[in-house]
Amino acid sequence: MAETEQTAKPQLPPRPPPPPQQQEQPPSEQPRSLTCKYFPMTLSETDLDALAPGEWVTDDAIDFYFRYLKHRYFPDNKKYVYITVKLAMLLTTRAVESTSSHIRDLASDANALDYEMQCLRKPKNIRVAFLPIFGDGHWSLLVYRRGVGSHSHRHRRNGEKEEEEEELPEFLHFNSYLNSTRENHTQCARTALINLLYVFRENDPDMVISKDSYKLVVKNCPQQTNGNDCGVFVCAYAYILSARIAAREDTRRTGGAIHSIVRRFSGIASSSASPLSADHRGASDRLSFAEKNPAKDSPPDSDDDAAWKIKDKDAIYPDSMRHYLIKVICKSTTPTSKNHNASL
């Protein structure tokens, strides 16, 4: 019996295994984004986690708090400006050159980053500007003050030499790590301030920029005791100065006449409460200080150097400042992380 030849069926390649199904994370473990209620900005839980003691504060957390200070104290006041981190980074890292093309490109890039705030377009309206400075792995605060002094400027008009007095802008540098970073970080601040003045001049050609047209003052201020609290100190410095300026503005606007009447009829000079515990700012902006002395913490009546000093008695414990920043972020954003939920 003849064997019939069986044709072998072609073997199909094995089916590939089905792709692994991605398991959905439970709602409690999904990362949350925190969207601000007051201005267009979003933070992540990573930014909140970085506010725990011993961690480095993120750029976005510092940027958020600076914008919060603007919203909280000077929402409609264009005299007080808070420079964003990205814009401050540009001013710090861009090489200083005095050529017209370089300044034109610098101003164009700066104005592009300033598209939301548009605080640099009219520099003569700016009285105070806060800049978070980052360089060599360290944060510090640079404050621009317009018109605190004057200097003589000579120029020609109608062929004749004339000399006139011009306002001298002053820059105050608050560095929480002076012993280790004074020289290098002061240079970072100087680069930022010169570039800022160049942007001002490009946006307003009437501004005169020269080597004698600014003053940089390195301020003595409370110092950090570790290597990770510099960002916290920058926020604390900005908070103390902002609250003090706001209290002085309120006093000038509403309290000047009342204080005059009290002094005239009672002969007793009234003393103001600490600007950082003033009731009109609400309990949400109160912080515990290392030492409290209402008599010494009262805001000065004039815009003098005393208003811009941050002494050890003004110091805020870094961990207290971290906890306060967490509360501010959670109160100002939605949705709020359950792990960090707190009310102001």
Answer whether residue 246 shows pLDDT above 90: yes
d(CA 342, CA 344): 7
pLDDT of 181 reads 74
- pLDDT tens per residue across span 254-269: 765 554 444 443 333 3
**What is the length of the chain?**
344
Is residue 197 within 8 Å of residue 211, measured between CB atoms? no
pLDDT of 146 reads 87
pLDDT of 131 reads 97
Please state, for a pLDDT cut of 90, what percent of the chain lies above it: 48
Banded pLDDT at 252 (limits 50, 70, 90): confident
pLDDT of 327 reads 95
pLDDT of 115 reads 83
Answer whether residue 270 shows pLDDT above 70: no
Answer whether residue 235 shows pLDDT above 60: yes
- Positive or negative, the CA dihedral 185, 304, 114, 112 is negative
**b/e 18-45 (16+ beta carbons within 10 angstroms → b):** eeeeeeeeeeeeeebebebeeeebebbe
Mean pLDDT computed over 114-139:
90
- pLDDT tens per residue across span 190-200: 999 999 999 99
d(CA 205, CA 152): 18
pLDDT of 165 reads 58
Q: Which residue has the higher pLDDT, 28 or 52?
A: 52
Predicted model pTM: 0.74
Q: Which residue has the higher pLDDT, 340 or 75?
A: 75
pLDDT of 211 reads 62
Is residue 331 within 8 Å of residue 325, measured between CB atoms? no
Is residue 199 within 8 Å of residue 106, measured between CB atoms? yes
What average pLDDT does the chain have?
77
pLDDT of 158 reads 55
